[in-house]
Structures are given as structure tokens and as C-alpha cells.
Chains A and B, each alone.
Chain A
Amino acid sequence: QSVLTQPPSVSAAPGQEVTISCSGSSSNIGNHHVSWYQLLPGTSPKVLISENNKRPSGIPDRFSGSKSGTSATLGITGLQTGDEADYYCGVWDNSLSTEVFGGGTKLTVL
């Protein structure tokens, strides 16, 4: 069981938007910056968002992040078939002294 809670799956049509939630506690999300990662089959994780809402260069502004209290959210607008992937939230946990991740959310673009 993961320390952070994400929905197992979300789906939407091309062009639509989705949000993926990530729920934690005061020992992790409540006191640290959240990152979001995209995992395509057979590839390494790719950071989409770090420090709650900042995108690395090269990541389109269709991807956005936010945080409130002990929860965080990833938003994706203008969905494309290429966005089909697994998405993970990640954050440092003070109690566990390690980076912790959500269980992952599989995005299907119908």
C-alpha cells in the first residue's frame, strides 16, 4: 500500500481535460514540495511538475500542478493519445526519511 493515495485510473476523450489527485499527510505533502512524473511503457520516469507547480523546460503548459494542505493535483488539458501513460506523484516524507510515491494513475485517452 502506497503512502500517497492516487486514483488507479482516469479516462477522457481527446481534447478534453483530466485531473489526478494525490493525497498524503503532514509528514510529506503537508511540508514538502510535490513532483509529478509520467511513465510510458519501457521508459524511465519523466518529470512533468516539480515544486508543486513548476514545469521543466520542454514540458507543455497543458500540464499543471497545484497543492493545498496535504493534497496535490495534476491537471492535463487538451488530451492527446500520446498522453496515455502512468502518472505518479512523489514527495519527501519526514517520518520515513525517503522519497515516497503514489500508487500511480493510468490515464486512458478514449
Chain B
Amino acid sequence: EMQLVESGGGLVQPGGSLKLSCAASGFAFSGSDIHWVRQPSGKGLEGVGRIESKPRNYATKYAASVKGRFTISRDDSKSTTYLQMNSLKVEDTAVYYCAAYVCGSARCGMDVWGQGATVTVAS
């Protein structure tokens, strides 16, 4: 079974830092791009960023709202992706999902999603 399991969410004060982890199993993690997507309470989905696979040099892309504050990394030996969040703002409060873009014989898609990690930024 393809699976992503997230950990690391919690409560942090404005200006603080938090690191989320996303551990994969059941699919070829090293060949997959990994996305981070967030959903503030009562609002829609927002792309945070992505990290590409090794053949594409682990390139990273970020949404303007988090660029310079968030960093996505991965450790293929551990099948794990990380989202390091610094200088957190109240508006970063959301459920954060990691998602894997996987390809099969007939199609590709963001088929595997983590269960979500709640990040609350408040004083």
C-alpha cells in the first residue's frame, strides 16, 4: 500500500520554527516529486512548494508566501521529506499535507497524500 505518514506538527509562537517530516512507503519514493500543500481552517488548498527527484537535481520551488522562510528537503535513503518552517506567522496556521506525484503504466498524478499535520502559530 502506498503511504505517506506525517509528523512534527504542533503549536508555535509567531517568529518561531517547526519542522515537519513525511515518511513514505509502498512506492518508488526516490523517483517521485514531493509536494507540500496546506489548508487553513475553513479555507481552500494552497500549494506550499515541491522538491523534485534526483534525476532533476532535487530542485525546489516555493510559493511566494513562504519563499525565504520555508525549506523543503529530502533523504531518499530514509524515504522521507522534510518541511522546515522558520519565521512563522499567524497566517501560516493550517493543516499541512505532503503529497507524492507518482507515475504508473497509464497515468501520473498526485496519488498519495499524508494524513495531514496541524500547525498552529499563536502567542
Chain B residues in 8 Å Cβ range of A54: 106-107, 109
Chain A contact residues: over half helix, strand or loop, or mixed?
A: strand
* In the assembled complex, A102 has its CB within 8 A of some CB on chain B: yes
- With an 8 A cutoff between CB atoms, is A68 at the interface? no
Number of interface residues of A (CB under 8 A): 23
Contact between B64 and A96 (Cβ–Cβ < 8 Å)?
Answer: yes
Interface size class of B (residues with CB under 8 A): 20 to 34
Q: Is the CB of A90 within 8 A of B45?
A: yes
B66: min CB distance to chain A, Å: 9
Which B residues are in CB contact (< 8 Å) with A51? 107-109
Given contacts A50-B107, A88-B44, A98-B63, contact A45 B35 (CB under 8 A): no
Residue of A nearest to B65 (CB): A98
Q: Which residues of A contact B37 (CB under 8 A)?
A: 45, 99, 101
Q: A45-B37, A54-B106, A101-B45 are in contact. List 5 more A-B contacts (CB 8 A).
A: A45-B45, A50-B109, A88-B44, A97-B61, A98-B64
